[in-house]
Amino acid sequence: MIPPTLPQGPRPIPHMSAVAPAPGAVLVVTWDDGRSDRVDLSGWLEAGHPYFQRLRDPALFATAALADDSTVEWGGDEDLAIDSLNLALLAEQQRVFGQPELVDWQDRLDLSNQEAADLVGVHVNTWSNYRTGATAVPPMLGIACRAVLKDPVLFAARYRPRRNGRPPVAAE
């Protein structure tokens, strides 16, 4: 078993080369390395400062533009903005976490099926169904798996290694 580790030093600020508004409070962000993400901001708009709820207006949302390579502004209002780090974090959490990502997660942590099932609180048969793709990975499980990779304390608090062999005979 290889425990996750926290990244060393501050997270680098991602840089954007383009941004385009799309229907449904979505920004299409092109990063300076050529990758792009569709970032749904509807949760950010509702959960953030009430000032940002103005962006529910599709006409105002459509004014999204790069203020610089690390900031998106709406309507030329520097107070109505989101930085590239928050956009990158939202994009990361919104990416699909399906069967291939689940298998990679389990392999990275070197967990048996039983240990992985125990760690996330599901029956081993349910875990096996996720792992084989017989059952879709629920979004909340993807959130939990990503959190475990980022926080070694969370992992250590919930990980219970399984030992090989038969369980000891119960005392009479």
Domain at 52, CATH number: 3.30.2020.10
* Joined tokens for residue 30: 């092109």
Q: Is the pLDDT of residue 67 over 70?
A: yes
Q: Is the pLDDT of residue 6 over 60?
A: no
53 domain residue, yes or no: yes
pLDDT at 137: 97
Q: Is the pLDDT of residue 48 over 80?
A: no
Same domain? For 69 and 117 the reply is no
Same domain? For 84 and 105 the reply is no
Same domain? For 69 and 109 the reply is no
Q: Which of 32-36, 49-53, 167-171 has the lowest mean pLDDT?
A: 167-171
Q: Is the pLDDT of residue 15 over 90?
A: yes
**Which pLDDT band holds residue 75 (cuts at 50, 70, 90)?**
very high
Structural domain boundaries enclosing 27: 16-94
Q: Is the pLDDT of residue 82 over 80?
A: yes
> Which of 61, 94, 127 is a domain's end point?
94
Our CA angle for 35, 41, 42, nearest 5°, is: 150
Burial 17-51, CB ≥16 within 10 A → b, else e = eebebeeebbbebebeeeebbebbbeebbeeeeee
End-to-end CA distance of the chain: 34
Q: Is the pLDDT of residue 1 over 60?
A: no
Q: Contact, 1 vs 118, CB < 8 A?
A: no
Tell if the pTM clears 0.85, that is, is over it: no
